[in-house]
């Protein structure tokens, strides 16, 4: 019978036949299993959260790069206009 086998295993591990010792060991092992599961869940959620952050950051970097190109283009246009004003570059 599984229950009897499990009880005997716990008694051997607890080195006691007292129910309080056996149940304390059983619940301690259950607590450790739950903590292990919680860590796995937290890690999975952390990975998902970090992946979302990376995706959002990549989108932000793409927008900033596009903005940088636009600003550089406007700066080049202003420089060309200044040079035309100085008559270094002929007006077209």
Q: Could you tell me the residue ranges of all domains in the chain?
A: 2-85
Q: Looking at residue 28, what DSSP letter applies?
A: H
Residue 27: count other Cβ atoms within 10 Å of its Cβ. Answer: 10
Per-residue model confidence as pLDDT tens digits over 48-75: 888 888 899 999 999 999 999 999 999 9
Q: With 90 as the cut, is the pLDDT of residue 26 above it?
A: no
Question: 36 or 1: whose pLDDT is higher?
Answer: 36
The predicted structure's pLDDT at residue 92: 63
Whole-model pTM: value is 0.46
The predicted structure's pLDDT at residue 38: 81
Residue pair 89/83 in contact (Cβ under 8 Å)? The answer is yes
| Burial of 16 per CB tally in 10 Å (0-12, 13-18, 19+) | middle
10-24 mean pLDDT: 84
Task: Give the span between the Cα atoms of 85 and 90, in whole angstroms.
Answer: 9
Task: Give the span between the Cα atoms of 86 and 75, in whole angstroms.
Answer: 17
The predicted structure's pLDDT at residue 29: 85
The predicted structure's pLDDT at residue 91: 60
């Amino acid at each position: 019978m599984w229950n009897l086998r499990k009880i005997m295993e716990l008694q051997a591990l607890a080195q006691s036949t007292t129910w309080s010792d056996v149940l304390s060991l059983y619940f301690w092992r259950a607590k450790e299993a739950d903590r292990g599961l919680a860590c796995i869940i937290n890690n999975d959620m952390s990975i998902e959260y970090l992946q979302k952050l990376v995706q959002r950051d990549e989108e932000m970097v793409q927008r900033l790069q596009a903005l940088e190109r636009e600003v550089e283009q406007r700066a080049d246009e202003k420089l060309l206009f200044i040079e035309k004003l100085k008559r270094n570059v002929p007006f077209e």
